[in-house]
Amino acid sequence: MTRLLATSVVRGSVQGESHGGAFLIDLQAETVEQKLDWNTADIAWEGRGWDRGLRGIAFGDDAVLIAASAELTMFTPDFGSRRAWSNPYLRHAHEISRWRQMLYMTSTGFDAILGFDLSVCAFTFGLALSAQGERIGWRVFDPRQPGGPPPCNTFHLNSVTATDYGLFIAGLNSPGLLRFDGKALAVVASLPAGTHNAQPFGGGLLFNDTRANLVRHVTAARQRQFFVPSYDEASLTHRDADRSGIARQAFARGLCAIGETIVAAGSSPSTIALHDLAANKTTRVITLSRDLRNAIHGLEVWPFD
């Protein structure tokens, strides 16, 4: 029985309202259980998602790891206990990825990747990117020390995947999928502008083509694409509640593989779609909310019984 953990951002929420949460989704029973209601008041409320909501998801050996905008939170699998860590170079975090005892986070507001050592529970690694003409500059820094990068959002980094072959990184404005192997940073695949969740998968590249309202899987031999679910506008709620004007339906974000051929993809209003790469079709759509402001952010297969 497969279950997914999803996080959400409520884009047009105001102070005093919930602005995100975490949800456990049983795909067989098609039931949804809210595990967290993120309603902290001490955040910035201006513009886009800003500090609202919960972001990327990863798992420790007996822990649930979730990024908020400016902190890493660790929960027990029953969500009964919480610890949190912040860093001066962590701002507007998006996705996170674990490799062995290191957890890597996109620090979107600094054009950086931060590494959190789970064995000592501390931020110990930083990788800062910078635009240098047609090249991308990079440098490693220690997030425990002064002298790190200044605030910057040139690339809007929103995805990181940690593997034995290095860190794969991408953003809305990156020149493609980047790979950092500890010695060099290189563009290894092209991407359209405005993507989320770009990652190597199945001998190719899997990503949310958010501007085109598509989920794509691209290999040398074949290109597959799946339309993001959309709804009759009249069935949506809170259509006029987002003062920023940013919230829209079919905004694709959140992506994870279930085995070798099934992909779960998130979108707004909070929706999970299952796409079968082998059959090249969408097999299931689960709707969590018809609130237009409510967007899926993180999405991962739940590993605990």
Q: Is residue 80 included in any domain, yes or no?
A: no
Is residue 132 a part of any domain in this protein? yes
Residue 47: which residues within 8 A CB-CB, separation 6 or more? 244, 246
CB 4 within 8 A of CB 300: yes
Please give the C-alpha separations between residue 65 and each of 55, 58, 207, 300, in angstroms, as whole numbers: 10, 5, 22, 11
Domain at 29, CATH number? 2.120.10.30
Q: What is the DSSP letter of 260?
A: T
Judge whether 79 lies within some domain: no
Per-residue pLDDT of the chain (305 residues; tens, 9 = 90+): 699 999 988 754 444 455 578 999 999 888 999 998 876 544 343 444 455 568 999 999 899 999 998 999 999 999 988 999 999 999 999 999 999 999 999 999 999 999 999 999 999 999 999 998 889 999 999 999 999 999 999 999 999 999 999 999 999 999 999 999 999 999 999 999 999 999 999 999 999 999 999 999 999 999 999 999 999 998 888 767 555 556 788 999 999 999 999 999 999 999 999 999 999 999 999 998 888 888 899 999 999 97
Q: Structural domain of residue 40, as residue ranges?
A: 3-74+87-301
Identify whether 49 is part of a domain.
Answer: yes
User: Could you tell me how many residues make up the chain?
Assistant: 305
82 inside domain: no
The answer to whether residue 296 is domain-embedded is yes
